Amino acid sequence: MTTTAVDTTEVRLLLEGIHERYGFDFRDYAEASIRRRILRRVQAEGLATISALQERVLHDTECMERLLLSLTVHVTAMYRDPLFFKVFRDKVVPLLRTYPFIRIWHAGCSTGEEVYSTAIVLEEEGVYDRCRIYATDLSESVLRAAKAGIFTLHHMKEYSENYLQAGGTRSLSHYYTASYERAIFRENLRRNVVFAQHNLVTDSSFNEFNVILCRNVMIYFNRTLQNRVHGLLYQSLGRLGVLGLGRKESMRFTPHEESYEELDGPEKIYRKVI
Amino acid sequence: MRPAVVVVGTSLGGLHALREILGGLPAGFSIPVVIAQHRVKSGGGDLAGLLQAVCPLRVWEPEDKEPLSPGMVYLAPPDYHLLVEPGSLALSTEAPVNHARPSLDVLFESAADAYGEGVIGVVLTGSNEDGARGARRIQQRGGTVIIQDPSAAVSGIMPAAAQARTGIIRTYSLGQIARLLVELCPGSDPLSPVRGRVG
């Protein structure tokens, strides 16, 4: 028997344990990346094995909170993949103009960088006042950060370049105030954003949307869970609704492959046709 | 045990080194090759195309959860970590590791966990120590680690760090590495992970 088999078993037991004890369901997260995050927590807790972490987590709720933060991935950026936002502006916004009222769901919005990115595009295209953006994440603490709209200043140079590549018509600095090491985004930008807690794994559909953006969220799920979440997104999209995924995510091999047409192949923007 | 996957990592000087090695593989090379090359976020040119030009196998930047297939060379897309899972590949946008995304350690460690002794890890030229931990994990799980001769590399830091971490003394030239891979991976072998989920 190899050591591999041992910690595969340990990972499964840990995830079963926290599901049973605390109700958090990570059982269908992508195996390789969640194992990395668990092992990082094992190390940070000064423990030797995943089993030792399991023991601590089951008896110590504070340890569970630390583990919860480690297990969820909250890395994001403004205008990550600038071309996505360029295509959104050029191909999706014209479709939205035909609607009197536009509902957009940012599923797994993390600390909100992409929500602000989208809001700026909609504002510059003159449709923002007809939009409501529902920005959701499973973690309350990242939602608080998203709501605050305060990001580290040293990222702004990169974000500004991304913004311009994404077809931005002003300068990104138009939208924030720099203060010490922070960029504070204008409150006005979130006038039509509703931040809310929602767990893609356990919660159901809560509205019907014209656009759903769910980029680089499902890559942390295994195939089974991806398929389930695809079902949830499909259910939540209105007819001819638009779905935006991450650059390296694909509709291929999902049960809903036939339900969409490509609006833009490389940027993974789809439109629900059935 | 026959190899199931070849994982290759490199940074500075990697383009030349990868072209030498991929150019030395035959069209019938039956084990999937997965590469992490440090590169700029925006992609910085058509790396896959430059490698494809010399390689008889198909070079491709995979999508998330794409099945691992023989006859393919998978290249980590810029600004993503690439991980090996039993039978497939997974991507991640988690924080850079060793200042790098893709990171060699992330690729190597995931391959070691998924395929154990079925992994061949190759550490090539590079200017930081990414890959050393991952090479060690491959070694601990019974896989094979092949290291480029640091003195012949554009930058010897990466292979030297892998040597230090694994205690491996013997190193190889690029030409030798290509031949060694062909020797270690004879014939065709269906992908079977060292373990699978039960039920």
In chain A, residues with a C-beta closer than 8 Å to the C-beta of B62 are 248
Q: What is the pLDDT of residue B187?
A: 67
Q: Are the beta carbons of A247 and B109 separated by less than 8 Å? A: no
Name the catalytic one among B103, B130, B149, B155. B130
Q: What percent of chain B has pLDDT over 90?
A: 88
Which amino acid is it at A272? K
pLDDT reported for residue B44: 63
Domain membership of residue A182 (yes or no) is no
The confidence score (pLDDT) of residue B195 equals 40
Q: Residue B19 is inside which H or E element, if any?
A: helix B14-23
Q: Count of CB contacts below 8 A, A vs B?
A: 86
Does A89 map to a domain?
yes
- Answer yes or no: do A12 and A135 share one domain: no
Q: What is the predicted pLDDT for the residue at B188?
A: 44
* Residue in A2, A219, A250 nearest the CB of B194: A2
Distance (Å) from the C-alpha of residue B78 to the closest C-alpha of chain A?
Answer: 11
Residue A178 inside a domain? The answer is no
Beta strand B33-37 pairing with A269-272: unpaired
With contacts defined as CB-CB under 8 Å, which chain B residues touch A2? Answer: 116-117, 141-142, 194-195
A22 and A109 assigned to the same domain: no
Q: Do the domain assignments include residue A93?
A: yes
In the predicted structure, residue A112 carries a pLDDT above the cut 90: yes
How far apart CA B150 and CA B132 sit, in angstroms, is 13
Q: Is B38 a catalytic residue?
A: yes
Instruction: Indicate if the pLDDT at residue A169 is higher than 80.
Output: yes
**Shared domain check, A192 and A127:** yes
B81 labelled catalytic:
no
Task: For chain B, say whether A250 makes contact (Cβ under 8 Å).
Answer: yes
Pick the more confident residue, A75 or A106. A106
Dist CA B32 CA B99 (whole Å)? 27
Instruction: Tell me which of A42, A71, A100 is where a domain ends.
Output: A71
Same domain for A192 and A60: no
User: Per DSSP, which regions of A100-167 are E strands?
Assistant: 102-107, 131-137, 150-152
A164 is a domain residue: no
pLDDT of B192: 43
Contact yes or no for B113 and A32 at CB 8 A: yes
For the structural domain made of B5-184, what CATH number should be given? 3.40.50.180
Question: What type of residue sits at position A222?
Answer: N
Cis amide prior to B102 (ω within 30 degrees)? yes
pLDDT in tens, A245-261: 999 998 888 899 999 99
Q: Note if B130 is an active site residue.
A: yes
pLDDT at A145 over 90: yes
A73/B110 touch (CB, cutoff 8 Å), yes or no:
no
Backbone angles phi, psi at B59, to 5 degrees: -100, 135
Q: What proportion of chain A, given as a percentage, has pLDDT over 90?
A: 89
Are A67 and A200 within one domain?
Answer: no
* pLDDT in the model for residue B2: 84
Whether A89 and A206 share a structural domain: yes
Q: What range does the domain containing A26 cover? A: 3-71
Element (H, E) at B48: helix B47-52
DSSP annotation string for B112-133: HHHHGGGEEEEE---SS-TTHH
Q: Please determine, for residue A214, whether its predicted confidence score (pLDDT) is greater than 50.
A: yes
The pLDDT value recorded for residue A256 is 93
pLDDT in tens, chain B (199 residues): 789 999 999 999 999 999 999 999 999 999 999 999 999 887 667 999 999 999 999 999 999 999 999 999 999 999 999 999 999 999 999 999 999 999 999 999 999 999 999 999 999 999 999 999 999 999 999 999 999 999 999 999 999 999 999 999 999 999 999 999 999 987 644 444 444 333 3
Cβ A256 vs Cβ B70: under 8 Å: no
At residue B79, the pLDDT reads 93
What's the structural domain count of chain A? 2
Q: Beta strand B144-147 with B119-123: parallel, antiparallel or unpaired?
A: parallel
Interface with chain B: mutation pick from A6, A31, A224, A229, highest number of B CBs within 10 Å: A31
**In chain B, where are the structural domains located?**
5-184
Q: DSSP for A22-52?
A: H----TTB-HHHHHHHHHHHHHHTT-S-HHH
Same domain, A94 and A198: yes
